[in-house]
A and B are shown apart, each in its own frame.
Chain A
């Protein structure tokens, strides 16, 4: 099946710094990628939808200036958490919708990235 990879798997950063998380579709092209956040023992909450070559669409309550999303190619989207605070500590998961016929419209998920802000 199609593979979506996230990097890093986990990261610890100091409060006030920025951290970037990458989401790559390894064997298919993804016109649309989605970023979710998951707090412990909770479900996934959609943060934003990113389309290749255009600005991301953010869900209500998600600060676009704090969570910068870039989708510069059909295989890579990045999420940058700027001026991170401890309350930003969470599990961030990306998913990608395939473009090619083999991947169809199926949505594939990455392994997730743990962010801890200290």
Chain B
């Protein structure tokens, strides 16, 4: 059972369209990260959110952390082919091993 569920699992859209990826959990996290991963490479950190309700923008990407720190969303405006990749959310807890727990992943394909 995945602790963090992402939806959708796969998304294929046309260049210029908007999209939202959701990351949901029943657990509370002290922080949540979003990564993008290209095939055969390690994940690359996009953003970290730590405060409930926090919204961060990174150019055309908008990240939001839920008020209860159990969920997050990533919104991409005017998607471009260069946005194609695997998007992963990952949560960090204050207790235990303090390892990142990754979501199930969303594979995005942006067609030119």
| Chain B residue at minimum C-beta to C-beta distance from A46 | B99
Interface size on A, residues (CB 8 A): 24
A110 at the interface (CB under 8 A from B): yes
Chain B: CB-nearest residue to A114 = B40
A43 touches which of B40, B48, B97, B105 (Cβ 8 Å): B105
A32 and B98 within 8 A (CB): yes
Q: Is B107 part of the contact surface with A, judged by Cβ < 8 Å?
A: yes
Q: Render A58-101 as a binary contact track against B, CB cut-off 8 A, 1 for contact.
A: 00000000000000000000000000000000010101010000
A49 and chain B: residue at smallest CB distance: B97
B34 at the binding interface (Cβ < 8 Å): no
Instruction: Evaluate contact between B43 and A44: CB separation under 8 angstroms.
Output: yes
Are A109 and B97 in touch, CB under 8 angstroms? no
Nearest CB in chain A to that of B44: its residue: A109
Known: A43-B103, A43-B104, A44-B88. A109 touches B42 (CB 8 A): yes
Of B44, B90, B98, B107, which one neighbours A41 at CB under 8 angstroms? B107
Say which residue of B43, B48, B101 sits within 8 Å of A46 (CB atoms). B101
- Beyond A42-B105, A43-B104, A44-B88, whether A110 also contacts B99 by CB under 8 A is no
B38-65 CB mask vs A (1 if < 8 Å, else 0) is 0011111100100000000000000000
A34–B64 CA distance with the chains assembled, in angstroms: 26
A103 within 8 A of B: no
Residues of B within 8 A of A (CB): 2, 33, 35, 40-45, 48, 88, 90, 92, 97-105, 107
* Contacts from A to B (Cβ < 8 Å): 4, 6, 32, 34, 36, 41-46, 49, 57, 91, 93, 95, 97, 106-107, 109-112, 114
Selected A-B contacts with CB under 8 Å, 16 pairs: A34-B100, A43-B88, A43-B102, A43-B103, A43-B105, A44-B90, A93-B43, A106-B48, A107-B92, A109-B35, A109-B43, A109-B44, A111-B42, A112-B40, A112-B41, A114-B40
